Structure 1
Amino acid sequence: MQNSSECQLQIRLITKQDSYAVPDVPLSVPQTIDTKSLNDLVNQLLKENNSDFLKPREFDFLVFGELLRVPIIEHLQERNVSTEVTVDVEYIERTPSPEPEDSLLHDDWVAGIHTTDKWILTGCYDYSVNIWTLHGKPVVSLKEHKNVVKAVSWLDEKDPSKGFISVSHDLTGILWSWEPGSDNVLPKAILRGHERGIDSVGVSPNSSRLATGGWDTNLKLWSTSLKDDRDEPAHKKVRGNTDLVTKTPLNTLKGHKETISSINWVDNYEVCTASMDHTIKFWDVELCGIKNEIVGQKAFLSSSWSPLSNTLLASSADRHIRLYDPRSSEGSICKTTFTSHTLWVSSVTWSKYDQHLFLSGGYDSTVKLWDTRSPKAPLYNLQGHQGQVLSVDWSNKKYLVSGGSDNSVHIFRNKDVKD
C-alpha cells in the first residue's frame, strides 16, 4: 500500500476571476498538497496557457467554502469528505498585506476613531476631539468636553462639511460644524438627557438621526437638525459668536440592564445595540420597541453591522469574535467563531467594500485583518501598538486605522485598493 505522501487526489481548479482562468479539467495532485504548491501549480498553468503572463501572482484557495490553511487531505478529513471524489478548488487573488503608513501621537488614550475620504476624527481620554489629515498632519484639537471622549462619528462619511458628533463621560454629546481643511470648528448643539457617561454613538444612513448609549443603560434617539428635536424653538445660550442649541432626545428606549457598548444602524428605521448585559438588541426606532434579541454568554464589547452581507460581528469578554445572522432560520444564528486574539477583543469593524473582510483590535496590542472564510487564523497581524487597542476603523477603504492606550493612532494602507 502506498503511503499518504504518494497518494493522489483528483482536483478541478476553478475561478470567478476570468483573467486568471485555466482549463477546468481534473488534475491529479498529491493528497498532501498545500497552498504554496497549489500556488505554484496555478502560476505554472497560467504561464503555459498565456505566453503574456509574466509576473507570478499570489492566490488563496477555497475548498468547501473555507480558505485552505492546512494540506488539502487534512481539510477534507475535518469535513469527512472522501478522497475518492473530484474536489473543486476555487482560487482567488490573495488579499495583500496592509503596509504601515503613519502613526499619530496623542496626549492620552485614543478611544474613538472615524475616517472619511481625507480626514481622521479621534476622541481621546484627555477630553479632546481631534481632526487629522490621512497623512498625519494635525488640523485642530477641541476641548469642549469635561471628561473622557469615548466615541466620535462624522454625520456623513462622504461629506465632512455636514459636521460630526462626539460623546463623553461628561453625560453629553456635542454636534460640531466644520469647514473642511480649516481650523474653523464650532460646537453647534449640546445633547443632554443621559444620566451617566455616554459610551457609544451611531448615525443613521440618511444622517438625520443619532443614537447614543451608555452607563445609564438607555438608548436615546436624537435629530441631527440644529433646530429643536420637536420643531419648537430650542433653548439657546450665546457663546462667543455662536448660538449653542441644547437638544433633548426624541425618544428613550429602555431594555438593557448594563452599559450599551456599541451601536449600529441596520437601516434608517432599525438600530442594533450591544451591551455588557450579555445581550444584543435590534430596535424598531419608529415603534420604539425591540424587534429581535441575541443572548450571549459574556459581556459584549463591540459590534459591527455589514449591509453587504446583512450579518453582525460582535466581540465579547472572552477573546472570541462571533458572526451572527439574525435572520437565519436554520440552526444557530451564530454562524462562525473567530479565535486568534490572546486577550479580550475591544473593537471590530467590517470592510465597506468586501463582504468577507473585517478588522479587529484587542487588549493584546494586536490588530488583525480577517477573511470570514478563514475562521481559525486571520489573514494578517498588524503590529505597532505598545498597549491595548481600543478602537479600529475601516470607513475609508484605502486605510485601516486603530487607536489605543499607547496614546497613538496607527494607519495601515490597504494595497488591495488602487488609487
Structure 2
Amino acid sequence: MESSESQLQIRLVTKQECFAVPDVPLAVPGSIEHNSLNELINQLIKENKSDFLKPKEFDFLVLGELLRVPLLEHLKEHNISTEIAIDVEYIERTPAPEPQDSLLHDDWVSGLHCVDKWILTGCYDYSVNIWTTHGKLVTSQKEHKNIVKKVAWINQTNPSQGFISVSHDLTGLLWQWEPGTDQIKPQVVLKGHEKGIDSVGVSPNCLKIATGGWDTNLKIWSSSFESDDEPAHKKVRGDKNLITRTPIHTLKGHKETITSTSWIDNHVICTVSMDHTIKFWDAELCGIKNEIVGQKAFLDSSWSSLSNTLLACSADRHIRLYDPRSSEGSVVKTTFTSHTLWVSSIEWSKYDEHLFMSGGYDSGVKLWDSRSPKAPLYNLEGHQGQVLAVDWSNNKYLVSGGCDNSVHIFRNNYVF
C-alpha cells in the first residue's frame, strides 16, 4: 500500500540510567510526534523494569532540539537524511509550575527579588515592600521621591545583609532589615547619577553594586553600610542621618539608557542599553572588554553562569541567546519567539542551564527550555496587564510583577 507513512529508524537513548531500555533500532512512522513517542517509551520501560509502576512524562531531544513537530518534519528542518538511524534522547519532562499566590500592590510593580522566603518589591508609588512567599505583607516604606525601578537583596542567601533600591529620583538607597520584623531603615544614599536609575546589580561577593540609568553612565559603588572606609569628602551625613556615598568609578560608553546591569563575576559587568548595544566592562580597569551590536533597543538581559551565555530581549517579540565567546558565525545562537508584544523581562534559572522565564507587554509569563526555540514549555497565566519584571532567584518560586499592580507566585515542582 502506498503510504505517506514513510518509516524512520530511531534509537531511543537516555542519560537517566533508571529509565534506560535496550539499545536496539526501532522502525517508527515519519509522522510520529511527542505524544506517541511518550507512549512508546513508557511501554518499553514497563516491559524492561518491573519496578516501573507509574507512567512518566518525557520530552525528546533530536539533534539538540526538543521535538515539537512530527519527527520527519523536524529532520527536514535540520536537513538530515532519513536514510540513517536517528538518535532520539528522552528526558523527564519539566513539570508545570503551579500558581501559589497573588500579592496585590497599590501601583505598578517594576522591581522584584526573591531570596529564601522573602520577596522584595519596588513600585511606581515610590514604595519598597517585603512579602513572604505565602502572601503576607511584612513591611512597606516610602523613602524615594519617584518611582522605584529595581530592587535587589545584597546577599543571595542571607536577607539580613540588607538590600538596595534604585529610583527615578536619581538615587539608590541601601536598607537594613532584621528578617521577620517590620523594621526597615535606609542607611546609605547613593548619589551621582544625573538622571533616573533604571538598573542595578550586586557583585557575586556582595561587596560592590553597579547601577545604570538614563544619564547613560554605569556606576560602581561600595555595598558597605559602614562609613569608616569612605574618604572624608565621601562621608557626608544628610537628611535622616543617612550616609551619602558617591561612586567608586563611573564608566562611560553607552549613548542611551542602560536597562540591565549584571555581574558576570566579581570583575566583569554586562550592560544592555536602548542604544542597541551589549557591553562587557572590566570593573577593575574601567574599560570595555567586548561589545555586541544588536538591531533594536534592548530592554533586559540575564547572564547564566551555568552555560556562560546571555539572554537579551529587545523592542520586538523575540528573545535572543548570545554566546559572547563565539568565534564562528553569529553570536546570536538561538531566537525564541512566542510573545505577541515586546518582551520586557527575562531571567535564567540558577540551577538548570536550559531553563529560563520571560515576561512581556502581552501580559504573558512563559517558562522556556533553551532547546525549544519555537514554543515555551508553559504559559503561566494570570496577569491582566503588561509584565514589567520576572524573578527566579529562589529555585522554588517563579515570580512576576507588572501593570496590574500584582505579583504572581508560581511554585516550581522541579526542585533539586
1:417 CA displacement = 1.3
CA contact (8 A) 1:223 1:229 kept: no
2:286 is aligned with 1:288: yes
Q: Secondary structure at the match of 2:259?
A: strand
Q: Which residue of 2 aligns with 1:217?
A: 216
- Mapped partners of 2:142, 2:112: distance in 1: 16
CA contact (8 A) 1:126 1:148 kept: yes
Supply the AA of the counterpart residue of 1:64. L
Which among 306, 312, 315 is matched to residue 313 of structure 2? 315
Q: Which residue of 1 aligns with 2:238?
A: 237
Supply the AA of the counterpart residue of 1:403. G
2:159 is aligned with 1:160: yes
- Mapped partners of 2:414, 2:265: distance in 1: 28
> Deviation digits for residues 200-241 of structure 1, max 9, x if unmatched?
0000000000000110000000001123596324112373xx
CA contact (8 A) 1:229 1:250 kept: no
Q: Which residue of 2 aligns with 1:3?
A: 3
Supply the AA of the counterpart residue of 2:225. L
Q: Which residue of 2 aligns with 1:36?
A: 35
> Deviation digits for residues 28-60 of structure 1, max 9, x if unmatched?
111111110100000000110012211000000
CA contact (8 A) 1:318 1:344 kept: yes
- Mapped partners of 1:106, 1:343: distance in 2: 24
2:273 is aligned with 1:275: yes
Supply the AA of the counterpart residue of 1:339. T
- Mapped partners of 2:228, 2:319: distance in 1: 37
Q: Secondary structure at the match of 2:75?
A: helix
> 1:18-57 alignment to 2 at 5 Å?
18-57=17-56
Q: Secondary structure at the match of 1:16?
A: coil
1:128 CA displacement = 0.1
Q: Which residue of 2 aligns with 1:137?
A: 136
> 1:192-271 alignment to 2 at 5 Å?
192-228=191-227, 231-233=230-232, 234-237=235-238, 239=240, 243-271=241-269
Q: Secondary structure at the match of 1:409?
A: strand
- Mapped partners of 1:135, 1:142: distance in 2: 20
Supply the AA of the counterpart residue of 1:19. C
2:185 is aligned with 1:186: yes
Q: Which residue of 1 aligns with 2:382?
A: 384
Which among 351, 356, 359 is matched to residue 357 of structure 2? 359
Supply the AA of the counterpart residue of 1:274. V
Supply the AA of the counterpart residue of 1:88. D
Q: Which residue of 2 aligns with 1:327?
A: 325
Supply the AA of the counterpart residue of 1:200. S
Supply the AA of the counterpart residue of 1:375. P
- Mapped partners of 1:24, 1:163: distance in 2: 54
CA contact (8 A) 1:222 1:229 kept: no
Q: Secondary structure at the match of 1:47?
A: helix
> 1:109-120 alignment to 2 at 5 Å?
109-120=108-119
1:2 CA displacement = 2.9
Supply the AA of the counterpart residue of 2:373. P
Gap runs ≥5 in structure 2: none
1:336 CA displacement = 0.3
1:174 CA displacement = 0.1
Q: Which residue of 2 aligns with 1:400?
A: 398
- Mapped partners of 1:104, 1:338: distance in 2: 29
Q: Which residue of 1 aligns with 2:303?
A: 305
Q: Secondary structure at the match of 1:206?
A: coil
- Mapped partners of 2:41, 2:223: distance in 1: 53
CA contact (8 A) 1:204 1:268 kept: yes
- Mapped partners of 1:237, 1:318: distance in 2: 43
Q: Secondary structure at the match of 1:267?
A: coil
Supply the AA of the counterpart residue of 1:211. A
Q: Secondary structure at the match of 1:83?
A: coil
Which among 357, 366, 369 is matched to residue 367 of structure 2? 369
* TM-score using structure 2 length: 0.98
Supply the AA of the counterpart residue of 1:170. D
Distance 1:229 1:333, change over 3 A: farther
Distance 1:238 1:126, change over 3 A: closer
1:125 CA displacement = 0.2
